[in-house]
Amino acid sequence: MEPIINIAGYHFAPVENLPEFKKKLEQLSQELSLKGTILISVEGINLFVAGLRHATDALLAEIRKIPGFAEFDIKESLSNKQPFRKMLVKIKKEIISFGVEGIHPASYSSPKITPHELRTWLDEKKPVVLLDTRNNYEIRMGTFQGAFPADIHHFRDFPQAVKKLPQDFKEKTIVTFCTGGIRCEKAAPFMEREGFKNIFQLEGGILNYFKECGSLHYQGECFVFDKRVGVDPQLHETKSILCFQCQMPLKEEDQAHAHYQVNVSCPYCFGREKKKKAPNTRKSRRMKKEAALKKLP
């Protein structure tokens, strides 16, 4: 059986004629039986899509024809089944919601550090702050050893979280990281603008680090925004799931907890279940999960 190719990538460069481009991508995706999400805006493209090899290659070839997108890079992993239910192409104000004016990754990006360079720094115990810019529920699934959490529930909270960071961080070497790198394209330049002097961003994020360095200096898995829920350092799907009630990602140990009840509750929402239980049907479970994934950044 031919494996499903999961691709995720972003690129900041001007995109013109958005409605026309959206229609073209929708038609191409339908012809190629691709599923996932493609976000387009005047600032660039952000996608996470899955399909057969010939289909993902054809999509990338089309995107790379656009002026400024010849170097569009992606992270790739394999799965035995399609992790998305449908295809969505959306026009957005930002391809990653941040809400701060004056941050333009296409014009300026903070210095990047490769996974191997970061591994060397950590091997040598170089004094460095690893700043996890992801949401708290993602961090709970896994992160770098000793990483400092931004302590946010949505990426748009990040600017306010920066104001709460220890003052001495402004003089320290900081490496920001996230799932695939896109959030750091805005987080790191914003921190520089706020007076942090030694900022780097992990190139390609955790997924790229997994690809290049595996599990070294990392604990746990990485949350992903599709039906796989989590991938391990070998980029294989884990056994994590989403809670039916609150949509919190649950690792295997969470599913073994006494407060976990299938289609009812988990350790994070136990006692807060809705008085009227949602109907336990395949359709209702699917609709609830899809709605929750749409809300995730």
Catalytic residues: 178
Q: What secondary structure, in 3-state letters, does the chain show?
A: CCCEEEEEEEEECCCCCHHHHHHHHHHHHHHHCCEEEEEEECCEEEEEEEECHHHHHHHHHHHCCCCCCCCCCEEEEEECCCCCCCEEEEECCCCCCCCCCCCCCCCCCCCEECHHHHHHHHHCCCCCEEEECCCHHHHCCEEECCCEECCCCCHHHHHHHHCCCCHHHHHCEEEEECCCCCCHHHHHHHHHHCCCCEEEEECCHHHHHHHHHCCCCEEECEECCCCCCEECCCCCECCCEECCCCCCEECHHHHCCCCCECCCECCCCCCCCCCCCCCCCHHHHHHHHHHHHHHCC
